[in-house]
Amino acid sequence: MDAQDKTRDELQLLEAMMQAIDRREEVFAAIETSETQDEARAAVAKLLGVEEILARAVLDMQARRWAQGERRTITDQLAMLRAKLESA
């Protein structure tokens, strides 16, 4: 895996996290109605339209990551990664 692939993977992860933050009520509802962790992961993956590995990352997000200040941090990181990919 080269540097661009790693950047793309990180970009996908941050985009999934941003979607989850923006749709937190839907994400929490999907989790609450699930019987198991596997069901929750599948429900979040379907809701956000992401692979299950990214849904797992969303489920593993620490509570502090849901704060608005963290959203700004993720937005800044996304912009940096997109610029990095564009300049490559």
- What value does the mean pLDDT of the chain take? 93
| Residue 40, pLDDT above cutoff 90 | yes
Under 8 Å between Cβ of 43 and 9: no
Q: pLDDT tens digits, residue range 3-37?
A: 899 999 999 999 999 999 999 999 999 999 999 99
CATH number of 3-87: 1.10.268.10
**Taking the CA of residue 46 as centre, how many other CA atoms within 13 Å lie in the half-sphere pointing to its CB?**
9
Q: Which two tokens stand for residue 38?
A: 């596997």
Taking the domains of the chain in order of start, what are their residue ranges? 3-87
Whole-structure pTM value = 0.86
Length of the chain, please? Answer: 88
Under 8 Å between Cβ of 20 and 44: yes
From residue 51, alpha-carbon distances to 42, 57, 86, 88 in Å are 9, 10, 24, 26
